């Protein structure tokens, strides 16, 4: 195949060398350097681009699409869609694919964050590393994890995998979802606040469309209460972060396990310094295994589309 016949792809955001090598062997890749000016970045190639790669934190805006008149498919790394204008993509007939191969890791992270906060794991490790064991008083007692009441906000794929895991810890599981899941046996609550009121652990697993903000607010945190633990493995902007900081500091809630924040990579100092909070750098899906599977999934979607006209994991 001559260079002239090769399909041309726009590479938006940072992707691993293995992905660029694999796709570069079959396609001509053009790196987009300015996300605000895709046409300017790509020059004459913009007219020829038929496919692309992007990441959830950059996504694919309507102006990006409009700069690429022949765009047929964009493969996103991850499963977040908040920066991608799906409505516009549908109007244009552009296929958007995600990498739905990371859910187990995210559900695992939710479990470990909840247990870490209640059992004081990172706090205990910090205490031992600082040399306090033997030198100070006894270590602080945590609270039991097993047998408690778990509330899941959002009963999608991650929520279901989380419920499967929590059930093995003999937990009572409830959930709130604006779209009830008829195949799920757990109790459906009428609102997030009602769910929080009867939960020891409140897990935010909502997908979070573009319209949603501050799904978890001061009222819901107050309902969770001073013994409750809040866990967020979804998106930071689904939470009123100021209210969360207040709730943690004042003891309105017992603690929080957070993988995501409103303004990443910035984490409010209060959260970074709190002993009843665990702060992770957005790694819920960040395992070697998931990253490889996500890379491969992007590659497979692009290859499959241009070989057969079908994507592997398109957004419906």
Residue closer to a second copy by CB (options 34, 146) is 146
**Residue 294 binds to a second copy (criterion: CB under 8 A):** no
CB of 268 to a second copy, least distance (A): 11
Backbone angles phi, psi at 255, to 5 degrees: 175, 175
User: Which residue's CB is nearer to a second copy, number 101 or number 243?
Assistant: 101
Cβ neighbors of 51 (< 8 A, separation 6 or more) are 7, 8, 9, 10, 27, 71, 72, 73, 74, 75, 302, 305, 306
- With CB under 8 A as the rule, give the number of residues binding a second copy: 55
Please, what is the end-to-end C-alpha distance for the chain in angstroms? 33
Q: What are phi and psi of 119, to 5 degrees?
A: -95, 0
Q: Which is nearer to a second copy, 18 or 283 (CB)?
A: 283
Question: How far apart, in Å, are the Cα atoms of 46 and each of 29, 36, 41?
Answer: 11, 14, 8
Min dist. Cβ of residue 165 to a second copy (A):
5
- Among residues 48 and 165, whose Cβ is nearest to a second copy? 165
Of 66-74, 144-152, 215-223, 244-252: span binding a second copy (CB under 8 A): 144-152
- Binding of a second copy at residue 167 (CB under 8 A)? yes
Q: Which two tokens stand for residue 109?
A: 């992270």
Nearest distance in Å: CB 10, a second copy: 22
Q: How far is CA 279 from CA 121, 131, 276, in A?
A: 12, 22, 10
Active-site residues, by number, are 235, 264, 282
Kindly tell me which residue out of 66, 128, 242, 251 binds a second copy, with binding defined by CB under 8 A.
128
302 closest CA partner among 288, 314, 286, 291: 314
83 sits near a second copy (criterion: CB under 8 A): no
Instruction: Out of 61, 287, 296, 304, name the contact with a second copy by CB under 8 A.
Output: 287
Provide the token pair at 270: 């209060």
Segment 95 to 124, residues that bind a second copy, using CB under 8 A: 104-105, 107-109, 111-113, 115-116, 119-122, 124
Indicate whether 237 belongs to the interface with a second copy (CB under 8 A).
no
- Using CB under 8 A, pick the residue from 133, 226, 242, 251 that binds a second copy: 133
157-167 vs 103-119: helix axis angle to the nearest 10?
50
Sole binder of a second copy in the list 17, 168, 209, 316 (CB under 8 A): 168
Contact stretch for a second copy (CB under 8 A) within 186-194, 247-255, 271-279, 297-305: 271-279
- In angstroms, what is the minimal distance from the CB of 294 to a second copy? 11
Q: What gap in Å lies between CA 150 and CA 176, rounded to an integer?
A: 11
Query: Which residues does 235 contact at the CB level (< 8 Å), separation at least 6?
Result: 80, 82, 208, 260
* CA distances in angstroms from 218 to 148, 149, 240, 272, listed in the order given: 23, 20, 7, 20
Contact footprint for a second copy (CB under 8 A): 104-105, 107-109, 111-113, 115-116, 119-122, 124-129, 131, 133-134, 139, 141-147, 164-165, 167-170, 264-267, 272-273, 278-283, 286-291
């Amino acid at each position: 195949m001559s260079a002239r016949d090769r399909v041309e792809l726009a590479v938006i955001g940072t992707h691993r060398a293995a992905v660029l090598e694999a796709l570069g062997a079959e396609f001509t890749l053009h790196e987009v350097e300015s996300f605000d000016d895709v046409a300017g970045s790509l020059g004459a190639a913009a007219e020829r681009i038929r496919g692309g790669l992007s990441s959830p934190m950059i996504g694919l805006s309507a102006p990006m699409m409009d700069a690429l008149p022949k765009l047929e498919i964009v493969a996103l790394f991850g499963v977040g869609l908040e920066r991608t204008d799906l409505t516009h993509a549908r109007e244009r007939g552009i296929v958007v694919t995600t990498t739905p191969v990371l859910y187990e890791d995210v559900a695992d992270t939710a479990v470990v964050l909840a247990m870490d906060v209640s059992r004081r794991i990172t706090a205990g490790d910090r205490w031992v590393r600082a040399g306090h064991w033997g030198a100070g008083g006894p270590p602080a007692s945590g609270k039991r994890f097993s047998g408690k009441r778990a509330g899941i906000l959002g009963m999608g794929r991650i929520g279901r995998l989380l419920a499967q895991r929590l059930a093995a810890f003999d937990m009572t599981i409830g959930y709130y979802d604006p779209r009830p899941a008829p195949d799920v046996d757990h109790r459906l609550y009428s609102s997030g606040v009602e769910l929080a009121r009867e939960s020891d652990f409140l897990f935010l697993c909502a997908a979070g469309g573009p319209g949603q903000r501050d799904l978890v607010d001061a009222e819901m945190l107050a309902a969770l209460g001073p013994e409750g633990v809040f866990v967020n493995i979804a998106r930071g902007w689904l939470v009123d972060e100021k209210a969360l900081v207040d709730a943690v500091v004042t003891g309105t809630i017992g603690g929080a396990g957070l993988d995501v924040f409103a303004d990443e990579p910035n984490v409010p100092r209060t959260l970074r310094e709190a002993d009843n909070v665990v702060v992770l750098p957005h790694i819920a899906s960040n395992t070697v295994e998931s990253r490889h599977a996500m890379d491969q999934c992007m590659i497979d979607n692009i290859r499959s589309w241009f070989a057969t006209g079908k994507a592997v994991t398109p957004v419906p």
